[in-house]
Amino acid sequence: MKDHESEEMYLETILVLKGERPAVRSIDIADKLGYAKSSVSRGVSLLQDRGYIKVADDGFIDFTEAGAKKAETIYERHNVLTKLFVALGADTELAEANACRIEHVIDDGIFDLIKKYVDNKR
């Protein structure tokens, strides 16, 4: 895993997969992201080394407290930004794609302003 964005994509993907199925394995992440199994294996290992996930002997992945918090923060950014872009008139697919890129680089203060704005528009 070479950068911050990649780390966040893995965490977000694990969170989404955990919402879709009872257990998540590396192969599920590879399938969801379209990545090679070897790349995902390395990424999972790095997330484990950084204390974001635990991998059981049977290969099932679970978050640590820190990992769950970080994944939920990333996913919240994705959802709020998507809602903003859709509200501005973007189609959902385009909104999702742009939110996915922006969620990794947006400043916390700016995101908080956007979140307040979106929450007030509901």
The percent of residues in the chain predicted with pLDDT above 70, rounded, is 97
Mean pLDDT of the chain, nearest integer: 93
d(CA 82, CA 27): 27
Q: Which of 45, 68, 91 represents a domain boundary (last residue)? A: 68
pLDDT at 2: 46
CB atoms within 10 A of CB 121: 9
Is there a single domain that holds both residue 86 and residue 50? no
Structural domain harbouring 79: 73-121
- As a whole number of angstroms, the distance between CA 31 and CA 37 comes to 9
Instruction: State the pLDDT at residue 3.
Output: 66
Burial of 6 from C-beta contacts in 10 A (0-12 / 13-18 / 19+): middle
CATH code of the domain covering residue 77 = 1.10.60
**34-79: per-residue pLDDT in tens?**
999 999 999 999 999 999 999 999 999 999 999 999 999 999 999 9
64 and 78 housed in the same domain: no
CATH number of the domain encompassing residue 42: 1.10.10.10
Mean pLDDT across the stretch 27-34?
96
Q: Based on the domain organization, do 36 and 82 belong to the same domain?
A: no
